[in-house]
């Protein structure tokens, strides 16, 4: 009889702290720098989610502990219809886990490569939804820093959502940020030129993304990092000769507005909520009913074909062919001795805390959370932007440690570099936004 009993899994205590045992594991749908993304089903609610899991050992080797904890904290602050929101966070002895909203419609890179280019009305709709998400993030004092087609996911209905907050940060109202983070082809001139930047850089990246979706090319490019930086800083914004067959004059005007080197005049970047007003009143968006859009009641003009996979199916083969160790439910060591742990593992144990959206209130770590720093190292995560043959991979995310001497703003430059916080036109998740704090950070 004992042999029969062992075939049954132990009962799961759903009232206890969330663990991987609360979920059934389904197919892999994505792959990142430190682990995979797979579909999971909550055993009690039967709801489907995306599980992003991060190998602790690989994370430590690449000195990315600080980024993982920072992402975990920022995601706890965020809840928006056009963002891939965090639902649970926990860890076992080998992995850290993010359980996120499931987006089965694929990322925009996948659809761009499949279709060749995206029609203007579809891009306009996505840009309107993403503008709502960016405006919300900036009210939360968050800069995404890595907006690109790869980091925009569609749900089954065709709505667009921002994902991947691995290099996102809180911005300071008193200091410009100078660390280089993001994907170079989408970086604003203020980032690659190290002149100091704030939330306005996300609107530049949105414009580059829209341009690429419509024309299947980016406006600024180069065969290596040096040439690409020069192009971003110096080259005039040009459009293909057949642009008029792909996009209207109003669309060209909007792209020019977003892809403007001066953040003071960039579309979406006027302070005190005026940037949002500028977008709403722009001729390109005149067909958008913003209230209906923000309630997610608009019918998207493009609906993904759910009869086929909207992702690279090869992600599943790695485990099937035993290229890598498959994810399994494992029990944690009971009462681990923190004093005997490696410093990095202890930092994860203490700072990658459990989150459960059904019982935890979303909270803000701002202004209390200074950027997380890795224990025992002076170097933050830095992922390569080059392939093995030395050519630039413009869509790879890179990050570097903040420079300690981030310049203070003088009274004459405050408007130019750090526009005041976009005003709120809706509920704010936390009250600490009213604080005025100097953060010496990235």
The verdict on 350 and 407 lying in the same domain is no
Q: Report the mean per-residue pLDDT for the chain.
A: 81
Kindly report the CATH number assigned to the domain that includes residue 92: 3.30.200.20
| Least confident span in 172-186, 228-242, 309-323 | 309-323
The whole-number average pLDDT for the span 410-439 is 35
Cα–Cα distance for residue pair 77/430, rounded to 1 Å: 8
Residue 111 structure tokens: 């659809």
Structure tokens at 235: 């080259």
Residues 348 and 226 in one domain: no
Expressed as residue numbers, the domain containing 132 is 108-308+381-434
Is pLDDT of 364 > 80? no
Q: What CATH number corresponds to the domain at position 415?
A: 1.10.510.10
Question: Are 274 and 286 within one domain?
Answer: yes
Tokens 């419509």, residue?
214
Checking if the pLDDT of 98 tops 80, the result is yes
pTM score above 0.75: yes
3 state SS of 239? coil
* Claim to verify: residue 339 and residue 290 sit in the same structural domain: no
Indicate if 54 and 121 belong to the same structural domain. no
pLDDT number for residue 403: 39
Question: Which residues define the annotated binding site for ATP?
Answer: 52
Residue 425 lies in a domain: yes
Confidence of residue 383 (pLDDT cuts 50, 70, 90): very low
59 and 177 both lie in a single domain? no
Inform me whether the pLDDT recorded for 310 exceeds 50. Answer: yes
Would the pLDDT of 249 be above 60?
yes
Quick check: 279 pLDDT over 60? yes
pLDDT digits (tens, 9 = 90+) for 140-161: 999 999 999 999 999 999 999 9
Query: Is 439 a residue whose pLDDT tops 50?
Result: no
| pLDDT category of residue 322 using cuts at 50, 70 and 90 | very low
In a shared domain, residues 66 and 150: no
pLDDT at 435 over 80: no
Query: Catalytic residues, which ones?
Result: 146
Give pLDDT, residue 172: 84
Say yes or no: 151 and 188 in one domain.
Answer: yes
Instruction: pLDDT band for 2, please (50, 70, 90 cuts).
Output: very low
Query: Is residue 4, in this structure, part of any structural domain at all?
Result: no
112/252 same-domain check: yes
The last residue of a domain, from among 356, 389, 413? 356
The answer for residues whose C-beta is within 8 angstroms of residue 89's C-beta and 6 or more apart is 72, 75, 76, 96, 97, 98, 99, 352, 353, 354, 355
Q: Is 326 in the same domain as 287?
A: no
Tell me how many domains the chain contains: 2
Residues 403 and 316 in one domain: no
| Arithmetic mean of pLDDT, 323-328 | 62
* Spatial CA neighbour of 139 closest among 440, 430, 437, 339: 430
* pLDDT for residue 47: 96
Let me know whether 389 and 424 are in one domain. yes
95 pairs with which residues across the strands? 55
User: Residue 375 — pLDDT band, cuts 50, 70, 90?
Assistant: very low
């Amino acid at each position: 009889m004992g042999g029969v009993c062992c075939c049954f899994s132990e009962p799961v205590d759903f009232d206890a702290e969330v663990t991987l045992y609360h979920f059934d594991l389904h197919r892999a749908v994505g792959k990142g720098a430190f682990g995979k993304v797979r579909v999971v089903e909550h055993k009690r609610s039967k709801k489907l989610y995306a599980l992003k899991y991060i190998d602790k050992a690989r994370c430590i080797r690449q000195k990315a502990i600080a980024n993982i904890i920072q992402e975990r904290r920022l995601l706890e602050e965020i809840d928006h219809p056009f963002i891939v929101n965090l639902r649970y966070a926990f860890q076992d002895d080998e992995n850290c886990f993010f359980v996120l909203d499931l987006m089965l419609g694929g990322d925009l890179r996948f659809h761009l490569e499949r279709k060749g280019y995206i029609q203007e009305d579809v891009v306009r709709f996505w840009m309107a939804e993403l503008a709502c998400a960016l405006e919300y993030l900036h009210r939360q004092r968050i800069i995404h820093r890595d907006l690109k087609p790869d980091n925009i996911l569609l749900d089954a209905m065709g709505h667009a959502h921002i994902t991947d907050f691995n290099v996102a940060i809180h911005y300071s109202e008193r200091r410009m940020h100078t660390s280089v983070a993001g994907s170079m082809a989408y970086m604003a001139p203020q980032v690659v030129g190290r002149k100091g930047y704030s939330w306005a850089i996300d609107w530049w990246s949105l414009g580059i993304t829209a341009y690429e979706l419509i024309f299947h090319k980016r406006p600024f490019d180069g065969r290596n990092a040096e040439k690409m930086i020069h192009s971003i800083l110096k080259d005039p914004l040009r459009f293909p000769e057949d642009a008029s067959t792909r996009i209207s004059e109003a669309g060209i005007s909007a792209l020019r507005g977003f892809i403007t080197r001066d953040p003071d005049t960039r579309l979406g970047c006027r302070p005190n909520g005026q940037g949002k007003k500028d977008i709403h009143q722009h001729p390109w968006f005149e067909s958008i009913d913003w209230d209906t859009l923000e309630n997610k009641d608009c019918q998207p003009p493009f609906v993904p074909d759910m009869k086929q996979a909207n992702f690279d199916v090869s992600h599943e083969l790695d485990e099937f062919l035993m290229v890598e160790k498959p994810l399994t439910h494992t029990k944690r060591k009971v009462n681990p001795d923190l004093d005997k742990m490696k410093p990095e593992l202890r930092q994860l144990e203490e700072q990658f805390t459990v989150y459960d959206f059904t019982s935890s209130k979303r909270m803000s770590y701002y202004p209390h959370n200074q950027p997380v720093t890795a224990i025992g190292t002076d170097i933050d995560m830095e992922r390569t932007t080059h392939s093995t043959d030395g050519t630039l991979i413009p869509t790879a995310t890179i990050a570097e440690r903040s420079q300690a001497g981030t310049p203070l703003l003088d009274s004459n430059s405050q408007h130019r570099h750090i526009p005041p916080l976009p005003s709120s036109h809706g509920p704010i998740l936390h009250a600490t936004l009213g604080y005025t704090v100097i953060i010496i950070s990235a």
